[in-house]
Structure 1
Amino acid sequence: MVRTRSTVATAALAGLLASAGIVGCTGGGSGEEPSARRMLDDANDAMRELRSVTVVADTVRTDGDGFSSRFTTDLRSRCTSKVTWKETGATLEQIRIGETDYVRPNRAYVEQWSGKAMNRPQNTWLKTPASEPGDGLSSCTRDFTSFGTVRKGEPTEIDGTEAVELVVTDKADKGGKYTFHVATEGKPYILKVVYKGADLSTTTTYSGFDGPLDVRAPAAAQVLDSTDVDR
């Protein structure tokens, strides 16, 4: 089965990043009609084989606050990400190329998370070694793992592509429900995931499957090396 979960974290120069880890279900069905588990397992396999994908997520909390993110990746070592917080207008952009991160928070982000005024141009990117898990920045990889139980929902259509709803619940997430929209024509990609929980809801869409990937470092004049930053 598959999980899509957005998390938020903070770090000294880059924080709070929504990231989605999606997909997968093990097991198989019998008979002519594939089981829900088999369909999600096939979707997991298809997503793992991708060489590029774009993930757009929108999270709304029950208190009305929320954030959105756009993430394009080769699922290996090259990706771009931008997270925007709705209430404050804070944004955090990231480019990862191999072992190097380029991070660009806007003025609202710096003031929100550090309590200090931004003392460099708005278009400055901070160059730093690729981050460790949990520091708030995004990894280019995605972990397609299974959990919980899954059942078939209704036939549907996402942007002109026929799909089927696969509904996932998990004992570890009481009250939470994931609805996966899996393509039933062409390759069985995950097209959309809707999560509804007690405290928040998240809608995640997938597109640009194996599309061109243009990930490049910012212009040198816009880059400040982290070793030059006076901490």
Structure 2
Amino acid sequence: MATVTTTALCLLASAALAGCGAGGSGEDGSAGDILDEANATMRELDSVTVDITNRTTRGGTVTSHLVTDLDGRCRSKTTWSGGGALEQIRLDKTDYVRPNRAYLQKWKNNPGVTGEQRLWVKTPVDPASSGGDGLTSCKRPFDSFGTARKGDSTRVEGTKAVELIVTDKADKEGTYTFYVAEEGEPYLLKTVYKSAAQHTTTSFSGFDEPLNLRAPKPGEVLSVGG
């Protein structure tokens, strides 16, 4: 269980975007330029939807669905193998968190929980948190790293895209493939990370679409601290 949780936290901190290491910038001329332009375009977005599926050989599968303004407002749901799930709404300095029964039974070591959790827990955002509390940050770094080279031309959800294959000296076991739109804005549409032990797919959609985020109804909230 610890393996899955650690992997998920690294993933949700955007390992698929910025790498868990610190490589150099892309050096293969046009490929590096395309990736730089895509990352710059993503940083300018007012909102985006991020869907992540992370599979490991020992820890099972973790999926995450995040809708975010890339700043301080977002909503996410993370689901683990075995049925554990954690929902979160972050509105600037306040988090609303709702785990399901399976999450509480396993991660909180509380096997006595038998009913579904209908209440959201309201808690202030900890500015010093680095993700170790299991909560998702609304921010995503879109930074180039490693060495990029062009791959094939393909389609992602019907949009023509170019593959950019990136290797990073800090991660000799894995390879990243970035898919950048060749039609319309040069959005980053998908990234795929593959190694012997891990396969992570991150998809992006809903570019600049309205977020419509709001707090749960007062009767559905249990306040803690703050």
**What TM-score range do you get, normalising by the shorter chain?**
0.7 to 0.9
In structure 2, distance between residues paired with 1:23 and 1:113: 28
The answer for the alignment partner of 2:190 in structure 1 is 192
User: Could you tell which deviates more after superposition, 150-159 or 20-29?
Assistant: 20-29
What SS does structure 2 have at the residue aligned with 1:186? Answer: coil
The answer for the alignment partner of 2:49 in structure 1 is 54
Tell me if the contact between 2:124 and 2:225 (Cα under 8 Å) persists in the aligned partners: no
Instruction: Choose which of 5, 12, 21 in structure 2 pairs with 1:19.
Output: 12
Q: Which has the higher helix share?
A: 2
The answer for the alignment partner of 1:153 in structure 2 is 151
Q: Does 1:68 align with 2:63?
A: yes
The answer for the alignment partner of 1:144 in structure 2 is 142
Q: Does 1:98 align with 2:95?
A: no
In structure 1, distance between residues paired with 2:35 and 2:25: 8
Q: What is the CA distance between 1:214 and its match in structure 2?
A: 1.1
Specify whether residues 146 and 173 from structure 1 end up closer, same or farther in structure 2 by C-alpha distance, changes over 3 A only.
same
In structure 1, distance between residues paired with 2:76 and 2:169: 31
Instruction: Choose which of 188, 206, 225 in structure 1 pairs with 2:204.
Output: 206
In structure 2, distance between residues paired with 1:193 and 1:27: 16
Tell me if the contact between 2:148 and 2:166 (Cα under 8 Å) persists in the aligned partners: yes
Q: Which amino acid aligns with 1:133?
A: S
User: Could you tell which deviates more after superposition, 92-101 or 64-73?
Assistant: 64-73
Q: What is the CA distance between 1:27 and its match in structure 2?
A: 6.4
Q: Does 1:40 align with 2:38?
A: no
Q: Deviations over 1:155-193 (max 9, x none)?
A: 001111110000001111112001111001111101011
What's the Cα RMSD here?
A: 2.5
In structure 1, distance between residues paired with 2:178 and 2:72: 26
Structure 1 stretches of 4+ moved >4 Å: 15-18, 23-29
User: Could you tell which deviates more after superposition, 97-106 or 219-228?
Assistant: 219-228
Q: Deviations over 1:103-149 (max 9, x none)?
A: 00001101101211338761110000013222221111111222211
Tell me if the contact between 1:23 and 1:43 (Cα under 8 Å) persists in the aligned partners: no
Number of equivalences: 213
Tell me if the contact between 2:35 and 2:144 (Cα under 8 Å) persists in the aligned partners: no
Tell me if the contact between 1:23 and 1:40 (Cα under 8 Å) persists in the aligned partners: no
Specify whether residues 101 and 18 from structure 1 end up closer, same or farther in structure 2 by C-alpha distance, changes over 3 A only.
farther
Tell me if the contact between 2:26 and 2:147 (Cα under 8 Å) persists in the aligned partners: no
The answer for the alignment partner of 1:163 in structure 2 is 161
The answer for the alignment partner of 1:110 in structure 2 is 104
Specify whether residues 67 and 27 from structure 1 end up closer, same or farther in structure 2 by C-alpha distance, changes over 3 A only.
closer
Percent identity for Structure 1 against Structure 2 = 53
What SS does structure 2 have at the residue aligned with 1:123? Answer: coil
> So what's the TM-score if we normalise by structure 2?
0.86
